[in-house]
Amino acid sequence: MDKFRAFRVHRENNKVFGRVENLNISDLSKGEVVIKASYSSVNYKDALASTGAGKIIRNFPRVSGINVSGYVVSSSDKRFKEGDPVIVTGYEFGVNHDGGYAEYVRVPSDWVVALPKGMSLFNAMAIGTAGFTVALCVQRLEENNQLPELGKFIITGASGGVGNFAIDIMSALGYQVVAVTGKPDRHQSLIDLGADHLLDRNTIDLKGAPLEKGQWGGAIDNLGGEILSWLTKTVNVGGNIASVGLAGGTELNTTVMPFILRGVSILGINAPACSMKLRTRLWERLVNDLAPKKIDTIVTNVVQLEDLPDVFKNMLAGKTFGRTVVSINPEK
C-alpha cells in the first residue's frame, strides 16, 4: 500500500502540536482490520488531545481522531470482509491507539461495528461520538426511570455537538427541553432544533443554598464544575443527571441533601468504555427510535485534514457550534 495522509500529533520540547504527514500502514498501531476512512468528525476530546490542552494522549507521535467511518480494506477476522462499511468509536482509538484522522486506519477487530442498515457513512460521523453519547445517556436515563412527566428537561452546553443531539433526541422523545448556553446569537438555532425554553448560562446564580427549589425533571450536563453542582440542587424528586463533560471544570461541590432528600441520581456516562453488545444496540437505535431528526442542521461545518488546527483552536475558544465532519475519502 502506498503512503497516505494522516493528522499526527507530536510532542517536542514539551509542546504538543499536530500536522498532516505521509505514513505507511506499518507506522500505525497494530490491529486485525484495516479500514479506508471516508469520514471522521471533531469532538471536544479531539481538540484537547490534538493541542495538548488536555493530557489525553500519553505516547507520541499519535494519529488523533476518536471516531471514523469507512470501508474494510483487509481483515484477518472472519467477521469482516473487504468492502464492509464500518464504524469505529471509543476504546483507546485516537488516544493510546492511532485514530481516525487518516486516510487509512488499523484497529483491533473487537472495536469495529458494522454500519447499521439505512445509515450513511457521512451520517455515522455526523452523529459520531457526540450522538452516540446522547444515545447512551438516553439508555441510562430510561433504566433509571426518567420520564417526561417528571418536569422540564435541562441540557447544558447546548450549543455543542452533544448538546445539539441531546435537544434533537430528547424533544423527539416528548421532553420539554430547556437549553442552557452562553451564546445568545445561537438562541434561534437551539429553538429550531427543538428547545422549548432558553436559559443564559451567565444569568444563573451558582452560589445558592445547598438545596434550592426543584425546577428540572432531569438533565444532560456537558459542563461539570459549578453548573453540575447547581443542577444537583435544582433537580426535582426522582430526577436524574447524566454527567457527560467537564468543559466547565472537574470539581463537584455539593452536599448529600439532593440525594437523600430528593432521590436525585448522577449517572456517569463513559461512552469509550461501552460494551460491544450495548454499543451495537445503541447504533441500531440511532437509525431507528433515536435517529436524529435535524442532522442536516446540526452539521455546521465540513473540513479537510489540513483544516483541523483551526477547528481545534476555535472549539477550545468556544467559537464553534454544532458538529464538524472531517471529509477524508468522501463517498461519491
pLDDT of the residue at 225: 95
Provide the whole-model pTM. 0.94
pLDDT of the residue at 207: 86
Cell of 131: 450522538
pLDDT of the residue at 1: 67
Could you give the CA distance from residue 320 to residue 40 in angstroms, rounded to a whole number? 17
Could you give the CA distance from residue 69 to residue 332 in angstroms, rounded to a whole number? 15
Contact 125, 68 (CB under 8 A): yes
Coil, strand, or helix at residue 168? helix
Coil, strand, or helix at residue 127? helix
Average pLDDT across each block of 10 residues of the chain; the chain has 332 residues. List them in order.
Answer: 93 95 97 98 96 95 98 98 97 97 98 98 97 98 98 96 97 98 90 96 89 97 96 97 92 95 97 95 98 96 98 93 95 77
Domains in the chain: ranges and CATH: 4-115+299-327 (3.90.180.10), 129-271 (3.40.50.720)
CA 275-6-86 angle, to 5 degrees, is: 35
DSSP sequence for 294-314? -HHHHEEEEE-GGGHHHHHHH
Could you give the CA distance from residue 252 to residue 272 in angstroms, rounded to a whole number? 22
pLDDT of the residue at 243: 98
Which of 152, 159, 160 shows the shortest CA–CA distance to 234? 152
